Amino acid sequence: MIVMISKIKKILYFPLAYYFRFFAKIQLAIWKPTVIVVTGSSGKTTLLNLIESQLQEKAKYSHFANSSYGISFNILGLSRKKLTLDEWFYLFLLAPFKAFKTPPKEKIYVVEADADRPKEGKFLASLLKPSITLWVSASRTHTMNFDYLVKNNGFSSVDEAIAHEFGYFLQYTSNLAILNGDSDLITKQISRTKASIKYVTKKELNNYKVFKDHTEFVINSKDYSINALLPKETSYSIQMTLALLEFLKIKPDYSFSKFTLPPGRCSLFKGIKNTTIIDSSYNVTPAGLRSILEMFDLYPSDKKWLVLGDMIELGNEEQEEHEKLAAVINSMKLDKIILVGPRLLKYTYPKLNPPAGGAEKFTMPKDALNYLLSHLRGGEAVLFKGARFLEGVIEHLLLNKNDVKKLCRREKVWQERRKKWGL
């Protein structure tokens, strides 16, 4: 059933998306919020949550909704749970009625917007017409969807094609664009907007330290201590958040005391045998993975284990990115490396210089789980990152089984998929 739905969606993706977009546009016209778009190849969710920690009840947020369907559903107050045909039919019938519902009381809408396929950036930008756009990163993500544009549409690289799609958010921005000024891919798109431009750069980052349960930044000579494990690139998001608050004339909470991350983004758990589990299993892009590995390399632990799943949807760049990953891993101080998935086995493993504890490779996540259960000795810090249902592996390593509900992909459809993989 799931496979059949997937094929139907691929054919009808945008035609059906425009149907829901039509009614979402009506609701937006009634609501009339100040739309703030958070976008980029990676780091979007962290940035959105940093903003939420400051604006709190002043805004509505598009949590877990960043796609053509997700954002339209979020605006309309619809939700998908089962991914079945009958549920889609129900949503189809309900959308016209939701278009005229009483709008949210909040007058600011902070929305995380992706562009993971051609035309999606334009689709969402023309719907949202943001007052403010924050563009945090531009790197390879979902490249398999953009490969054909390099040949057929005159882009010199897949990176340029992806950046062009994200650039639609600039094109439709009316007031202010807050941008990562260190990214040439981003800065090359600024001619497409009439909005004012505010840049943030790494020059403002004076220091960066990782501790067992928090991260410290020194930005523009000011200290920030945030109760989460965060990569160095989060400094861009901190600067962007402060620039947004300045524009909105809202006094910041420099402690970011109300900041939290959603499941699967470097969540910390106590594991069996006195282990520390760092769960970053929600998603993976090449740039995002490198930033997390850099953070983990600085993490204070005498015994560090790395569990990686494949990077997927990379198309023609699949081999290159998995081979480049080996060089990053080789530069780290690790005790054990565990690779899960055919891409890592084919491209990454042959180029590894295994640490003293060795490198293990598995095709199935169940086999990786069995290895962990039998070989963890106690006191290890274990980072999980990548695809291959690693959240299903983590489930069985938690000391407190009530923590399972804090993991990502808790919906019934994902539980059923994990079972098929023996998890």
User: Which pLDDT does position 9 carry in this prediction?
Assistant: 59
Query: How many other CB atoms are there within 10 angstroms of residue 403's CB atom?
Result: 17
Tell me: do 243 and 308 sit in the same domain.
no
Tell me: do 217 and 342 sit in the same domain.
no
Tell me: do 119 and 185 sit in the same domain.
yes
Q: Please say which residue of 187, 219, 248 terminates a domain.
A: 248
Q: Is residue 258 part of a domain?
A: no
Tell me: do 242 and 209 sit in the same domain.
yes
Calculated CA dihedral for residues 61, 64, 69, 74, nearest 10 degrees:
-30
Q: How far is it, in rounded angstroms, from Cα 165 to Cα 170?
A: 10
Supply 251's token pair.
């006094």
Name every residue whose Cβ is closer than 8 Å to that of residue 402 and which is 6 or more positions away in sequence: none
User: Which pLDDT does position 368 carry in this prediction?
Assistant: 97
User: Which pLDDT does position 14 carry in this prediction?
Assistant: 77
Kindly report the backbone phi and psi dihedral angles of residue 137, in degrees, each rounded to the nearest multiple of 5, phi listed first.
-160, 160
Q: Is residue 260 part of a domain?
A: no
Tell me: do 303 and 376 sit in the same domain.
yes
Q: How far is it, in rounded angstroms, from Cα 345 to Cα 352?
A: 10
Q: Is residue 394 part of a domain?
A: yes
User: Which pLDDT does position 407 carry in this prediction?
Assistant: 94
For residue 134, give its domain range: 2-248
Q: Mark the ranges of the chain whose per-residue pLDDT is less than 70.
A: 1-11, 83
Tell me: do 412 and 285 sit in the same domain.
yes
Q: Is residue 253 part of a domain?
A: no
**CATH number of the domain that 191 lies in?**
3.40.1190.10
User: Which one, of 397, 400, 414, 419, lies nearest residue 278 by Cα?
Assistant: 397
The neighbouring-strand residues paired with 381 are 276, 304
Q: Please say which residue of 214, 248, 282 terminates a domain.
A: 248
User: Which one, of 276, 310, 311, lies nearest residue 398 by Cα?
Assistant: 276
Supply 211's token pair.
């501790």
Q: Please say which residue of 248, 281, 297 terminates a domain.
A: 248
Tell me: do 272 and 198 sit in the same domain.
no
Tell me: do 103 and 221 sit in the same domain.
yes
- For 135, 228, 231, 265, the CA distances from 256, given in Å and listed in that order, are 21, 11, 16, 17
User: Which pLDDT does position 11 carry in this prediction?
Assistant: 65
Q: Is residue 256 part of a domain?
A: no
**CATH number of the domain that 319 lies in?**
3.90.190.20
User: Which one, of 86, 164, 180, lies nearest residue 122 by Cα?
Assistant: 164
Residues in the chain: 423
Q: Is residue 255 part of a domain?
A: no
Phi-psi region of 147 (alpha: psi -120 to 50; beta: other; left: phi over 0): alpha
Q: Is residue 361 part of a domain?
A: yes
Name the domain count of the chain.
2
Tell me: do 288 and 190 sit in the same domain.
no
User: Which one, of 286, 299, 283, lies nearest residue 334 by Cα?
Assistant: 299
Kindly report the backbone phi and psi dihedral angles of residue 181, in degrees, each rounded to the nearest multiple of 5, phi listed first.
-75, -5
DSSP letter at 232 equals T
Tell me: do 121 and 243 sit in the same domain.
yes
pTM of the model: 0.93
User: Which pLDDT does position 257 carry in this prediction?
Assistant: 95
DSSP letter at 91 equals H
Tell me: do 244 and 100 sit in the same domain.
yes
Tell me: do 189 and 286 sit in the same domain.
no
The neighbouring-strand residues paired with 216 are 209, 225
Q: Is residue 323 part of a domain?
A: yes
User: Which pLDDT does position 281 carry in this prediction?
Assistant: 93
